[in-house]
Structure 1
Amino acid sequence: MARNIDITVSPEKTDRLLADLQEIDGLVSMRLQKGVSISPPGDVVSATVTSRSLQEVMRLLDRYELGKPAGVSTMSSEPDSLVDAKKSKELDRDWVEASWEEMETIISKDSNANTILLFLVCASGILAAVGIATNAIHVVIGGMLVAPGFMPLMRMTLGWTCQCQMVWKKGLWDFLLIYLILIVSAALTSLLLQALGSDPLPGKADYYQLSQPLLKYWTTVTPSSVIASAAASLAGAVLIATKRSVFTSGVMIGLALVPSASIIGMALVEGDVETMGAATKRWLVDIALILGISYLFFAAIKALRHKRRIAI
């Protein structure tokens, strides 16, 4: 998918930037507006480039000190449609690939742990706890789908890959806060269920004729569960890198992050140390797989495609 990139540049660098941009094969169009930017002050160069050329453009902008006080600043977007006779074939077969900065923006949108998002985390913990208590898989899946539990881990590995301390520290903070709230929400729900006369961790009744209780599945590490979590981890990293974050809800279904974290809180309330330990083990295994596999993937595309650090 092509990109529209608006570049704010100081007037003395404008002509040189225009000449450098024209050397890029994937340049579709370019416009110049002199002196229109108020903050930061300067000229605005608007370029449309193919996605294949995006990383080349970003490396060029790094040479103009992208993101630094005396350098250039940018804003990217995607056109809804683009017709160009000279580039029609190239545009038709263009791929989708995000820059580091676009990935960080995608992750920020879905995982910044603000007050409103934490209400969503509470709802996720409640749904997961109720679903586990009643062995109702559809309720647990509901909790998994609404939980913003995957993106903070992606932010951590993105920061490590791009050697940006600010990015991975934000990811670590969001991760700790989100899962603390989720575990506490599940624990409080477990207390409420006890008060209402229900057993929060029955582990007995089957639902939808499942061959084993849901509780056992999300507290057990098996070769098949590791393979599933590894595949989901890789899928999540690819979805971020290709700007398909809308599908990461499917990744959460493939992982045990939300139900295992919820069981930790529920088992704590029940005083069931064995179950809490098993759930913690499953949760940590999934976290390790996500961090390890996504880091390897981001490191690979950094070496092969991006060849740059993040401009933050």
Structure 2
Amino acid sequence: MLHMRVISPVEHTEAVRDLLLGEPGAAHVTVLPGIALKPPGDVVEADVTRESVDAVLGALCELGVDRSGGVTLEAIDTTLSKAADAAEEAAPGDPADAVIWDELVARTGDESRLSVSFQAFLTIACLLAAIGVITDSAVTVVGAMVLGPEFGPLAAIAVGAVLRRGDLVRRGAMALAVGFPLAMLITALAAVALDVTGLLSTATLDNVGQVDFIYKVGPFSFIVALLAGAAGMLALTSAKSASLVGVFISVTTVPAAAFASTALVEGRYGQAGGSALQLLVNLVGIVVAAIAVLIVSRRTGMSEGRLRWLSAR
């Protein structure tokens, strides 16, 4: 369950209270009159099942509480309550399958920003992948996959496309359009430095049998990208966010970017081109699959009114 705290203007408090009392998936409803100071109003709290949250948020937004007051949600790890158990039983569906669209928009928006930390993680991941290629170490390449932060912008593009939110699409596209070229440029400069010191040579890239999947593009490249994109978006929209780590291990975006930079420095244009194509195939496949998952989720659990409201935010 999630703990919901609503700061409600006095004129809306009765409607908010009645909404939560009438919601089968809500329990522990509490009204604290006049306790809110900024913005002023009453505080209404309740514990709401995950599968009921999105509908409740939609109703609160129709009342205008998001504009004149505020709504916050917090995860509850443990609840010992017969009332909470009854709410879970009464709420339709399974909590693991419930999509909280406002939470998804906020999460993808935050994780898709082109920030110093995003660029640092992406650059370090590319450098690790380059070292993995040079040493023919699949373990190091996998570590770079896990470290890469690129799924956030890809998810933002998918969410923005489905919810018709151009701001999310632009933010995610900007992070990728700036982040990858900059990380690849730094990786190329590092490859030049390694070449000067004798740690990297053209011959080094002849013996990369354990990581040749990075630049060898085939039908399974796109299939894996589709599966990874679908699994990643399912992990974001459900309560299974820990599964994202497994998704990252499947994605060849960061290693492909690193290999393209390294091979280009060494004049291995075939490998560089294959790596660049692998990067493109993975990026496109992930977004396409993520959009498909969101479309199915939207059609099964979102009204047109809710879609219009999310699109207008």
Q: Flag whether TM exceeds 0.5 (same fold).
A: yes
**Which residues of structure 2 form unaligned runs of 5+?**
none
Name the CA distance, whole Å, in 1 between partners of 2:199 and 2:302.
Answer: 54
Deviations 1:137-185 (A, max 9, x none): 1111111111101111001111121222222222222222321232123
SS in 2 for 1:177: helix
Deviation at 1:31, TM superposition (A): 1.1
SS in 2 for 1:203: helix
- For residues 156 and 66 of structure 1, do their structure 2 counterparts lie closer, same or farther at Cα, with a shift above 3 Å needed? farther
Name the CA distance, whole Å, in 1 between partners of 2:100 and 2:65.
Answer: 13
How many pairs are equivalent? Answer: 303
Question: 2:244 is matched with which residue: 248, 255, 267?
Answer: 248
Deviations 1:74-112 (A, max 9, x none): 111111211221442653895233412212333355443
**Is the contact between residue 134 and residue 200 of structure 2 (CA under 8 Å) also seen in structure 1?**
yes
Indicate yes or no: 2:161 matched with 1:165. Answer: no
CA-atom RMSD, angstroms? Answer: 2.2
**Which residues of structure 1 form unaligned runs of 5+?**
207-211
Name the CA distance, whole Å, in 2 between partners of 1:306 and 1:192.
Answer: 53
| Matched residue type, 1:188 | L
* Aligned residue number for residue 95 of structure 2: 95
**Is the contact between residue 26 and residue 87 of structure 2 (CA under 8 Å) also seen in structure 1?**
no
SS in 1 for 2:7: strand
Please identify runs of 4+ aligned residues in structure 1 that moved more than 6 A: none
Name the CA distance, whole Å, in 2 between partners of 1:200 and 1:24.
Answer: 67
Question: 1:203 is matched with which residue: 202, 205, 219?
Answer: 205
TM-score of the aligned structures, taking structure 2 as reference length: 0.88
Deviation at 1:35, TM superposition (A): 2.5
* Aligned residue number for residue 24 of structure 1: 23
| Matched residue type, 2:43 | V
Question: 2:268 is matched with which residue: 266, 272, 281?
Answer: 272
Name the CA distance, whole Å, in 1 between partners of 2:25 and 2:166.
Answer: 32
Indicate yes or no: 2:132 matched with 1:123. Answer: no
* Aligned residue number for residue 150 of structure 1: 151
* Aligned residue number for residue 253 of structure 2: 257
Deviations 1:114-152 (A, max 9, x none): 223322222111101111111111111111111101111
Question: 1:221 is matched with which residue: 217, 239, 252?
Answer: 217
| Matched residue type, 1:25 | P
- For residues 72 and 46 of structure 1, do their structure 2 counterparts lie closer, same or farther at Cα, with a shift above 3 Å needed? same
SS in 1 for 2:72: strand
Indicate yes or no: 2:4 matched with 1:5. Answer: yes
**Is the contact between residue 221 and residue 278 of structure 2 (CA under 8 Å) also seen in structure 1?**
no
Structure with the bigger percentage of helix: 2
Indicate yes or no: 2:41 matched with 1:45. Answer: no
The percent of aligned pairs where both chains have the same amino acid is 21
Deviations 1:197-231 (A, max 9, x none): 1335633325xxxxx341x3111222223222221
